Structure 1
Amino acid sequence: MTSDVSRRSLLALGAGLGATLIGGQAHAKAPKLGTQSPYFHRFMLGSAEVTVVSDGPLPLGDPSGTFVGVPKDEVKKMLTDNFLDASNVILEQNAPIVNMGDRLVLFDTGMGTSKLFGPTTGRLRKSMAEAGIKPGDIDAVVCSHAHIDHIGGIVDENDKPLFPNAQVYISEEDFKFWTDEAKLGSPLKDFVVHARKNLLPVRDRLVFYKDGQEFLPGITAMHAPGHTFGHHIFMIQSDGKSFAFLGDLTHHQVLLLEKPRMEFSYDSDPKMAANSRVKMLDMLAANKIAVMSYHFAWPGYGHVVKNGEGFRYIAEPMVMNL
């Protein structure tokens, strides 16, 4: 009986609302605001506070020239099956800032002044300001590799360091490769120009990490070569909790997880990158270690699980109460 009364009440209420709207009594007078929420998100990792800030969306365009080794129609179906635009793959740029209590560590720095991938990138400083984090408070900048969208925000348009109190951590192999003046005449020119612009002004602050080294308390480097030859991922730990910052181990939460041996055209050695991707994802899935990917859908934090011959990404719910 109660359910019938409730149902009749709801129907009556709906009819009343409909009459009000049809009668023209309700009008949307408020202007459209055209603004979005600030581009940062926080969560706790043990006693550490992690703030994810965005450098803005990075559009790659048509996937057919970028994600290769799988038929175009199959790539398109993978995207449309996940309600994603099959004509323009858009990557996020998720940079975690980890407050360990005694130091503030930023991982990767975005595109900076370069607009090679369009006008929506280069937002890192704005996102940090929205999050209440000052560049001068950053103690360490950790670079997963030396590509343009990861080291681009180390200096400003006048080549002045943006993080004046920070040491910059990177692999020696990537530093040497991507700042090599001899490569300025090669197809890698744009990437080399940007790496030289951002890394040479802080040469005296560079610290080279090595595979397996806990180069900062709670932060361990793991070599995952192929995207670049010095590319690393990082295990970040606090009070028994951990997650892996993947850098560019995998660029897409669908394409390079479902088909992890698909090749990505920006990889220095695509087959080596695929081997690293499968090896690391196997380990992370088997051990149920949380992950954050620089390029996954915002804010890029969750888990990977085995799914047939590939993997599946399960996003962590965004917890709004710290």
Structure 2
Amino acid sequence: MQIDRRQVLAGFGGLALCGGPTALLARTALQLGASEVIGLSDGNLVLPTEFFFEGLPEGELDLILSRHNVPRDQLEPPCNLTLLRQEDRIILFDAGSGPAFMPSAGKLLSSLDAEGLAPEDITHVVFTHAHPDHLWGVLDDFDDPVFPGAKLMMGQGEWDYWTDPNTVDTIGDARASFAVGAARRLAVIEEQISFFTDGTEILPGVMAHATPGHTPGHMSFEIRDGSSAVMVGGDAIGNAHVAFERPDWAHGADQDTSLGAKTRMRLLDQLAADDIALLGFHLPNGGLGRVERSGDAYRFAPEDI
């Protein structure tokens, strides 16, 4: 296989190139009043298990992974973007991986096409955070904006972190390419983007919730119509097995593992207590489901659609 320079710069070296089978382009949907919340596939990632779980208690970890039929050596998490269709807006949450991250990902345009949509139809793109599988799809192979007519929106703290020239030197070697890639893309789209803070109603019926830890400025978004709501969770809850059964454990994919665990426990408790549906970026079955209590922990119950 010929090695593409851009894949190496993704930060996972040969692991990204092993390119396991691309996930089926799953679609999930939930009607929320007059709006429709749709989960669209961007494909999947291929990552070593130790990237997530290094240093965790091996015995209990193995039991959890076995219960969920998760391989011990390699994970292939799906990538589920959220599309919100409102009467006069088509809002996309995150932009996917694009062509430059992993060969198993970057399938968003095919998913949009299956919805009868072109990138020009998207009115808003709202970012949970600026990791490659959420941001890099904002540019095409020629570094031109994929959504030229859309209003782009990002939390102020997340923007500040990734545009800080010191980030590349403080984020650690494993993620240095993330910082370089984010800064380059954000510079291209700077004229299109606006910013918000925690607790802001960024669009009608869409409330921003700060969920830091995975990245310093990570945001989730509560889409609400009356008593019904869906939380666009991004990577605040990163999988449907260890994150639910042991949310208190450090998660290697989080940049601040301690803060990530605190945020995860708080968010899981809120979603279960308030019966808010969750659309998680890396959760199975299209990412849409409910958080249910299970003893002292939780379980993910995919939405029956």
Instruction: Give the TM-score range, shorter chain.
Output: 0.7 to 0.9
Partner of 1:237: 224
Deviation larger for 257-266 or 172-181 = 172-181
Superposed, which structure 2 residues align to 1:48-197 within 5 Å?
48-61=35-48, 63-115=49-101, 118-185=102-169, 187=173, 188-197=175-184
Deviation larger for 191-200 or 279-288 = 191-200
* Structure 1: unaligned runs, 5 residues or longer: 1-34
Q: Does 1:221 align with 2:205?
A: no
Per-residue deviation at 1:85? 1.9
Per-residue deviation at 1:74? 2.0
Partner of 1:18: none
SS in 1 for 2:99: coil
CA distance in 2, matches of 1:276, 1:201: 31
Per-residue deviation at 1:36? 9.0
Summarize the Cα distance change of 1:36–1:236 in structure 2 as closer, same or farther, 3 Å threshold: closer
SS in 2 for 1:170: strand
Partner of 1:9: none
Partner of 1:41: 28
Deviation larger for 124-133 or 173-182 = 173-182
Per-residue deviation at 1:308? 2.6
Contact 1:64 1:72 in 2 (8 A): no
TM-score (norm 1): 0.82
Instruction: Give CA-to-partner distance per residue, 1:257-304, whole Å, 9 cap, x none.
Output: 100011122212110111011111111111111111000013111111
CA distance in 2, matches of 1:37, 1:158: 27
Per-residue deviation at 1:37? 6.5
The number of aligned residues is: 282
Alignment-mate amino acid for residue 266 of structure 2: K
CA distance in 1, matches of 2:30, 2:45: 24
Summarize the Cα distance change of 1:213–1:67 in structure 2 as closer, same or farther, 3 Å threshold: same
Contact 1:153 1:198 in 2 (8 A): no
Contact 1:47 1:239 in 2 (8 A): no
CA distance in 2, matches of 1:108, 1:268: 19
Alignment-mate amino acid for residue 230 of structure 1: G
Alignment-mate amino acid for residue 106 of structure 2: G
Per-residue deviation at 1:39? 3.8
Superposition misfits of 4+ residues, deviation over 4 angstroms: 35-38
Q: Give the share of equivalent positions with the same residue, in percent.
A: 32
CA distance in 2, matches of 1:212, 1:255: 28
Deviation larger for 303-312 or 284-293 = 303-312
CA distance in 2, matches of 1:38, 1:280: 27
Summarize the Cα distance change of 1:207–1:255 in structure 2 as closer, same or farther, 3 Å threshold: same
SS in 1 for 2:261: helix
Q: Does 1:288 align with 2:275?
A: yes
Contact 2:54 2:252 in 1 (8 A): yes
Which gives a bigger RCO, structure 1 or 2 (Cα 8 Å, sep 6+)?
2
Superposed, which structure 2 residues align to 1:268-279 within 5 Å?
268-279=255-266
Instruction: Give CA-to-partner distance per residue, 1:101-143, whole Å, 9 cap, x none.
Output: 111100011111223xx42011111111122111101111010
* Structure 2: unaligned runs, 5 residues or longer: 1-21
SS in 1 for 2:166: helix
CA distance in 1, matches of 2:23, 2:280: 22
Per-residue deviation at 1:197? 2.8
Contact 1:112 1:154 in 2 (8 A): yes
Alignment-mate amino acid for residue 70 of structure 1: L
